[in-house]
Structure 1
Amino acid sequence: MTASIVFVSDEQKAIVQTWCGEFRKRIAIAVEDRTVKTSFGRTHALVAGPENGKPLVVLHGALASSAHVLPELGSLVSKRRVYALDIIGQSVLSEDRRIDVHDDSYGRWVVEATDALGLRHYDLYGVSWGGFVALRAAQAAPARVGRLALLNPAGWVANSAWKGLKAMGWPLLMFRLFPSEQRLRRVIEPLFSTVDDTDWTRYFGDALRAYRLDVRVPPLVKPEELEGLTCPVLVFASDEDISFPGRALLARVRELLPHAEVELLEHTKHCPPTTDAFRTSSSARVERFLAS
């Protein structure tokens, strides 16, 4: 049997697959599994929402899946036909491989996957690592994307290496070497806005031990790469984000994309609240943007 590129063992991979099933139970409406072929490998997607709804392609964050992101979309899944793609290299449900982050590969992957799903024009919503992938997709095929929404997207700004090491690097290393509830808490607290969502925190602890962590940092977007991006853009950033500091992120968005709408999420960390209140407010804001 070929060794996994993304996971440390088959046993750990199975644990993450089981968790995907648990998060799928949190989805309030019926969902459909779709698996399509691309030149980058097998791509899984969950499809939900009214069949006649306008298509919205959603891209989740690192170490997550379509099953993790769909329950966090609030009312969007009842108003839009949502296609949540499982990002290759960051989800157990798609091909076990890495995709180059320094060229247009991720953008081409989204184009191929949406082609295979029968989508030619759609809105796009990317979260964290998925925000980086979504921007690559909008750059690769700008005519396909009607509107682009990003939540704490990678690839715009970076925190200092020392702050990252102090806040996340050392606690993460200690947890992987000597896992315990206390050490997991030290990893969770600077990252998660909601630390008492036991499904998310327990899953994240298992994922940190299961994945071969991808330490590649998405390159920062360059001004010339955005020259063809004219679609409406909405960017959320969190003011307490240790990975992509919110105020700096929005300042760079304003500099490079003056036409973009921006919103600072106050008292919010990189992983926004997994609460009904936040789902309601964020989904309503995204829907207003998509419908405007």
Structure 2
Amino acid sequence: MIAEELQREYRRLLDRWPVPSEQLRVPTGQGETFVVACGPAGAPPLVLLHGAIANSASWMGDAAGLSERFRVYAVDVIGEAGLSAPARPPLASDAYAAWLDDVLDGLGVDRAAFAGISLGGWLALDYAIRRPDRVDRLVVLNPGGVGRQRWGAVLLSVVLLPFGRWGRRVAVGRALGAALPGPFMDYFLRLQAAFRPRREVLPVFGDAALRGIRAPLLAVLGGRDALLDAAGTRRRLEALVPHATVRFLPGAGHAVTGQTDDVLAFLTAQPPSARMPNVSP
């Protein structure tokens, strides 16, 4: 759980959510989970999962566009820098899938589309592998667990963080490969300084697990990702998940932004079985 001062700052950010929203608290086996919900109540559900040392404020730039077509549920991941319980069960277990079962059940959702960033992408892939009947479609932005982790940015952070705000800004900029909007960068820098990150290495999904993904999948990868091997992720997804759509952005880093329109187009496209057959004139 983040410190009270950072909680208050996070709540102030949430007050600027770009569309009308509800703040929900869902009981789960891992403790209470905080969710920001927006969009029409009867629209198809879309679950958003943020990355590590972050929270649902990560999705504020996408919420307005996504909520035009979906009932959006931005979930604060347990054990991360949001308002959910601090529980951190082992990643190499069924615990996070069981937690998401509880979240969906608490929201009254049987099946949903999922979108995840980095750690959130790992969680979305893990859930699609373990609970294929509950995942309609899947979008992952620089997901963990497919290509190898890179440690250069982490080691650079160890060197730079003792240099205070300047060091944190440089370290975060190198890690993300993009500048966040002013208020978000300031807040994110304070999180970096105050929040205790996970030490557990993300488990890598085996070939058989990736081959078992049934949901339509869109992966957006930044070729200059300093934290994850995007080229390796691309190779494995293209080889093992042949129905996946992989967008490789050579100049992008770990923070892939500006993808709302492409994500919406993928999530709302008709499945091949529902499309009209081509008819020759």
Q: Counterpart of 1:39?
A: 29
TM-score for both structures, normalised by structure 1: 0.86
Q: Counterpart of 1:265?
A: 249
Structure 2 distance, partners of 1:284, 1:213, is 31
Q: Counterpart of 1:218?
A: 202
1:85 aligns with 2:75: yes
Indicate which of 96, 101, 106 corresponds to 1:106. Answer: 96
1:68 aligns with 2:58: yes
Amino acid in the other structure paired with 1:86: D
Indicate which of 187, 209, 226 corresponds to 1:242. Answer: 226
Structure 1 distance, partners of 2:199, 2:159, is 13
Indicate which of 249, 255, 268 corresponds to 1:291. Answer: 268
Structure 2 distance, partners of 1:188, 1:34, is 30
Q: Counterpart of 2:110?
A: 120
**How many residue pairs end up in the alignment?**
269
Cα pair distance change 1:190/1:51, threshold 3 Å: same
Structure 2 distance, partners of 1:128, 1:61, is 5
Amino acid in the other structure paired with 2:264: E
Structure 2 distance, partners of 1:69, 1:210, is 21
Q: Counterpart of 2:84?
A: 94
Cα pair distance change 1:80/1:190, threshold 3 Å: same
Structure 2 distance, partners of 1:286, 1:96, is 30
1:180 aligns with 2:170: no
1:21 aligns with 2:11: yes
Structure 2 distance, partners of 1:230, 1:287, is 19
Structure 2 distance, partners of 1:241, 1:256, is 21
Structure 1 distance, partners of 2:126, 2:217, is 14
SS at structure 2 position matched to 1:191: helix
Indicate which of 154, 171, 183 corresponds to 1:168. Answer: 154
Amino acid in the other structure paired with 1:260: A
SS at structure 2 position matched to 1:113: helix
Indicate which of 124, 130, 146 corresponds to 1:134. Answer: 124
Aligned residues: CA RMSD: 1.8
Structure 2 unpaired stretches of 5+: 270-281
CA contact (8 A) 1:26 1:71 kept: no
Alignment of 1:151-162 (within 5 A): 151-160=141-150
1:18 positional shift: 2.3
Provide, for residues 209-268 of structure 1, a one-character-per-residue CA deviation record: whole Å limited to 9, x for no partner. 211121211111001223432111111100110111322211111122111111012321
Amino-acid identity (%): 29
Q: Counterpart of 1:231?
A: 215
User: Is 82-91 or 200-209 further displaced after alignment?
Assistant: 200-209
SS at structure 1 position matched to 2:176: coil
CA contact (8 A) 1:126 1:149 kept: yes
1:191 aligns with 2:175: yes
CA contact (8 A) 1:107 1:136 kept: yes
